Homo-oligomer: A and B are copies of this chain.
Amino acid sequence: MEVSVSQENYLKAILKLERAEGIASNQAIAQNLESTPAAVTGMLRKLCDEGLVEYEAYQGAKLTQVGEQHALSTVRKHRLWEVFLVDKLSYRWDAVHDLAEELEHIGDEIFVDRLAAFLGHPLFDPHGDPIPDALGNIRERKDVVFSSEALAGMKFSVCGVSDSSDEFLRHLNRLGIELGSIYHAVERFDFDGSMEWTNDDGERVLVSSGVAEKILIQIHE
């Protein structure tokens, strides 16, 4: 059973929606893949026939065991390639998504496992997203909150973002914020929810509420 590129993208979308909302509705899938509900129905039937998705008309979709493994393997490949591009080929974190999106559809499990080994079995990709292991287990991070939760005086490190779009990441580049950066929350300005942070070198950044709500942090003290 060969799973096409398009089918793998469906599986990824369903995985994401299932984790977020318990079930993947037709409409949500269509939105995710910039397609239409009618097209989604057609593909769900096919994925169901192939045993990758559990699907009953009008009831939305869930991945089967096999489907979930396949989706996780694709996510694993995607994130490993992102690590490769950043660590080995010196790409910046805002320039790796599209390439990884192509590379994720190539090769078998052996290939991925060797790639993972070569990269030193990384646990997180360049955006801080966890990389599933060979069995599909995702090490969810503990004590991770959005930086908008940080209170004045707290020290924290940036460990992820909830938006990996090029535009957002480039904005963080301009602010000097990157994965692993350590800051103190100095003050929150109530009238617009923006925050001032400072690092150990005394540099200050002003972070708007919209940005703060997309940055994941671990609080140190």
Taking the closest CB of chain B, its distance from the CB of A84, in whole angstroms, is 9
State whether the Cβ of A107 lies closer than 8 Å to any Cβ in chain B.
yes
Choose the segment among A56-64, A98-106, A204-212 that binds chain B (4+ C-beta atoms closer than 8 Å). A98-106
Chain A: residues with Cβ within 8 Å of the partner, total of 13
Residue of chain B at shortest CB distance from A115: B89
Q: Is the CB of A114 within 8 A of B99?
A: no
Q: Is the CB of A106 within 8 A of B99?
A: yes
Q: Is the CB of B106 within 8 A of A89?
A: no
State whether the Cβ of A90 lies closer than 8 Å to any Cβ in chain B.
yes
By a CB distance below 8 angstroms, the chain B residues around A118 are: 88-89
Q: Is the CB of A90 within 8 A of B114?
A: yes
A residues 11-40 near B (Cβ < 8 Å) are none
By a CB distance below 8 angstroms, the chain B residues around A102 are: 106-107
A127 to B99, CA, bound (A): 27
Taking the closest CB of chain B, its distance from the CB of A111, in whole angstroms, is 6
Additional A-B contact list (9), CB under 8 Å, known A88-B118, A91-B114, A103-B106:
A89-B115, A89-B118, A90-B114, A99-B106, A99-B107, A99-B111, A102-B106, A103-B103, A106-B106
Question: Can you give 15 contacting A-B residue pairs, CB < 8 Å?
Answer: A88-B118, A89-B111, A89-B114, A89-B115, A89-B118, A90-B114, A91-B114, A99-B106, A99-B107, A99-B111, A102-B106, A102-B107, A103-B103, A103-B106, A106-B106
> 9 shortest A-B CB distances, which residue pairs?
A89-B114, A102-B106, A88-B118, A89-B118, A99-B107, A103-B106, A99-B111, A89-B115, A90-B114
